């Protein structure tokens, strides 16, 4: 039951984009079309899940036993960078159009603070292995949910009569802000 609560809270309540404000770069950059937004969400979900697994293993099997806690950030970056490379190769192989559509934002998952944030928050909260994995999957799905919702709204925005100075990034940030407010409504759901 607690695991379920953790899962739902990672998706809705502690949504990485809309609550922690992490991973804003791809959130704004790849949210113009639902298709590519969804793929981006899945790529981030994949990287987050595997990062959660590896970072927990490295932290608990290597770093803590040898008293190397201070190497957490460095070794997590190592994990993330390797995984993104792997995902990039994989997507390039199986879907060149998707590779084109994601463009620079794919390698930029490496420096996506949401992923790093995930690894560090999991450590901070002393999650067990299972909890970490659930947290990783949930956070990834939360990111996917946020970016797909955003893409849906932005597709509709093409039809809206947006004032000239707010076109593009301006209205996107306003929409993101309102979405964050709306998601804050979930706060009371899980303590």
Under the criterion CB under 8 A, does residue 78 sit at the interface with another protein?
Answer: yes
Which residues 89-118 are close enough to bind another protein by CB under 8 A? 89-90, 92-93, 96, 104
Count of residues binding another protein (CB under 8 A)? 22
Residue 20 tokens, joined = 């922690």
Look at the block and give the residue holding tokens 């790849």. Answer: 30
CB of 83 to another protein, least distance (A): 9
Q: Binding to another protein by residue 8, rule CB under 8 A?
A: no
Q: Does 64 bind another protein (CB under 8 A)?
A: no
Q: Work out how close the CB of 70 gets to another protein at its nearest, in angstroms, rounded to a whole number.
A: 8
Contact set for another protein, span 123-162 (CB under 8 A):
158-159, 161
Question: CA 78 to CA 62: how far, in whole Å?
Answer: 14
Of 6-14, 17-25, 83-91, 116-124, the segment contacting another protein by CB under 8 A is 83-91
Which two structure tokens, joined as six digits, stand for 42?
């899945």
The rounded distance, in Å, linking the Cα atoms of 36 and 120 is 28
Q: Does 4 bind another protein (CB under 8 A)?
A: no
Contact call for residues 44 and 112 (beta carbons, < 8 A):
yes
Q: Is the dihedral of CA 141, 24, 120, 104 positive or negative?
A: positive
**How many other C-beta atoms lie within 10 A of the C-beta of residue 92?**
14
Residue that has been written with the tokens 């949910």 in this structure = 145
Q: Does 60 bind another protein (CB under 8 A)?
A: no
Number of H helices, E strands in the chain: 8, 0
Give 89 or 130: the residue with its C-beta nearer to another protein: 89
Q: Output the smallest distance, CB 85 to another protein, in A.
A: 6
Quick one: 25 or 71, whose CB is closer to another protein? 71
């Amino acid at each position: 039951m607690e695991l379920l609560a953790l899962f739902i809270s990672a998706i809705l309540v502690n949504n990485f984009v809309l609550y922690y404000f992490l991973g804003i770069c791809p959130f704004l950059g790849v949210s113009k079309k639902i298709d590519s937004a969804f793929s981006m969400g899945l790529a981030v979900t994949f990287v987050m899940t595997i990062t959660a697994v590896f970072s927990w293993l490295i932290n608990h099997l290597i770093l803590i036993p040898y008293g190397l806690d201070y190497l957490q950030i460095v070794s997590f970056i190592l994990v993330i960078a390797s995984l993104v490379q792997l995902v990039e190769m994989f997507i390039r192989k199986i879907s060149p159009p998707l590779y084109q559509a994601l463009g620079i934002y794919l390698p930029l998952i490496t420096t996506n603070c949401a992923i790093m944030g995930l690894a560090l928050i999991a450590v901070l909260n002393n999650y067990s292995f299972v909890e970490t994995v659930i947290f990783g999957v949930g956070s990834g799905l939360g990111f996917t949910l946020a970016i797909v919702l955003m893409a849906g709204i932005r597709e509709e925005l093409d039809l809206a009569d947006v004032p000239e100075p707010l076109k593009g990034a301006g209205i996107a940030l306003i929409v993101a802000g309102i979405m964050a407010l709306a998601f804050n409504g979930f706060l009371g759901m899980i303590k």
